[in-house]
Amino acid sequence: MQPSFVLRQALQLALTANALKPPRGARTAVPAFFAGWLTGELAPHLLALTAADTAAHVARHGSKSSKAGLTLAAASAAGLGTLIAQSQRARGEIETALTEGIGTAYTEELDHPPSPTDLATPWGQLAMPFRMRDPEVRRERDIAYAPGGKRFLLDVYSPREPVTGAPILLQVHGGAWVIGNKDQQGLPLMLHMAKRGWVCVAINYPLSPAARWPAHIVAAKRALAWIRENAGSYGGDPSFVAVTGGSAGGHLAALLALTANDPALQPDFAEADTSVQACIPHYGVYDFAATTGHRSSKERLKTLIARHVFAPDKDPEHFLDDYIAASPLDRITDDAPPFFVIHGVHDSLVPVGEAREFVRRLREKSKREVAYAEISGAQHAFDVFPSIRSAHVVRGVERFLEWSYRTWRRRQGG
């Protein structure tokens, strides 16, 4: 028996099993997320490594190869193959969400309807998933949008060839309101959109516990006000801004979309236009105040939001209205812009039921279109780097953004 080979294959099988069916519960949520996220999005690479490891083992040991290890490797390979097949479903799930949410003929609104090549899996790009740069995209770093240091900086991504009047995408990073920065998230989508003529802006914002709510959303609105004043210098059209983000960034993106021009969140700049024309939150936190009573929302409110994000003297029991004012689920009105809500079925950190309830309420109240995609096998943060799944989601988001922009232009008479 070759213990190292058996151990490697046992570990890989455990990771694969967790990705296929992550355990539920607050205690296992974080480890299940980290293990499942990387395994699910890197399944083709792990399958190749499993095959190479097995081939090397057989070549070295021949008839004395570990039967236990080979059995584990075969089971792991089958599971990784299932994960790859799940990832490929994202293309159909995204397209179904778009046709159901914005209409079966939505592609007629696009300047360039998607071709079979556009819809195919970009295997060449996925071979090196952590190499995220594009020679056709220019990035201008660390531009101050307000006083206060590095947490008030943004980056602008634009086409290498100069543009004018380009629609704008604002990206808000996640990290549970306590970690993260503009360099780490949203890159596949921003590079993709900038290459196709959009101007994309990724922002930092103050983090807790050093900063307390509502500093996070106030900063996001300040960044939006900066975009409205300065985007023209970078080729952008400040009259059309879509916003996106994941996790805590999804919460801030959704809240930004639902609190346009709210003077309570715009101290000293109440005159600024902080409306957005479309919103695409990924695996966002919507039940911020736990008003649904769901166990996961109540646990998050107690252990994270009340303890680290809000001021220590503002407990939810006595200041519930302040938490509700910060909750997208409780701020929906009929003036909401078009939404495309995206969530993973296997999300261990923000259960998919939270997105379902948010979408239900949006569709009940909003006068505008609401598309919703549940992505099979997807964990939290599935779109951080290029993968089969994230590539299909990015291309679907591109179609939604293009549709939103063209529809908005038509309504403006353009």
Burial class (CB in 10 A: 0-12, 13-18, 19+), 142: exposed
- The SS3 call for residue 228 is helix
- Listed in sequence order, the residues at least 6 apart from 166 whose beta carbon sits closer than 8 Å to its beta carbon are 158, 159, 197, 198, 199, 235, 236, 237
Q: Which two tokens stand for residue 59?
A: 């070549």
The DSSP line for 180-214 is --TTSSSHHHHHHHHHTT-EEEEE----TTTS-TT
HSE-CB at 383 with a 13 A cutoff on CA atoms is 34
**pLDDT classification of 131: cutoffs 50, 70, 90:** confident
pLDDT at 111: 83
**pLDDT classification of 352: cutoffs 50, 70, 90:** very high
pLDDT single digits (tens) 262-318: 999 999 999 999 999 999 999 999 999 999 999 999 999 999 999 999 999 999 999
Predicted structure pTM score: 0.96
pLDDT(59) > 80: yes
Q: Which two tokens stand for residue 253?
A: 């993106």
| Rounded mean pLDDT, 225-241 | 97
pLDDT at 414: 62
- Listed in sequence order, the residues at least 6 apart from 310 whose beta carbon sits closer than 8 Å to its beta carbon are 212, 213, 319, 322, 323
Catalytic center residues: 247, 347, 380
pLDDT at 118: 81
